[in-house]
Amino acid sequence: MDPLESERRVIEAAEVRARLLGENSNHTVAAAAMDTAGRIHAGVNVYHFTGGPCAEFVAMGLAATVEAGPLITMAAAGDRGRGLIGPCGRCRQAMLDLHPDILVAVPSKNGPQMHPIRKLLPGAYEFPDANALRVLRFNKRYYDSVIDGTKVSTIRWDETPSVGPAVFVFEDKYDHPLVRGAITGVKRQLLSELTPHSAHLPADADMAGYINGLRDHYPAMPPEAEVDIVTFHVEAEPT
What's the pLDDT tens digit per position in 70-109?
999 999 999 999 999 999 999 999 999 999 999 999 999 9
In this predicted model, what pLDDT tens digit does every residue of 128-141 receive, in sequence order?
788 899 999 999 99
Q: Where in the chain is the domain with CATH 3.10.400.10?
A: 134-234
Residue 56 is a catalytic residue: yes
Q: CATH 3.40.140.10 region(s) of the chain?
A: 5-120
Pair 162, 192: CB distance under 8 Å: no
- Specify the CATH number of the domain 134-234: 3.10.400.10
CA dihedral 163, 166, 170, 171 (to 10 degrees): -90
Given 5, 23, 56, 237, the catalytic residue: 56
What fold, for 5-120? Cytidine Deaminase; domain 2 (3.40.140)
Q: Which residues contact 50 (CB under 8 A, 6 or more apart)?
A: none
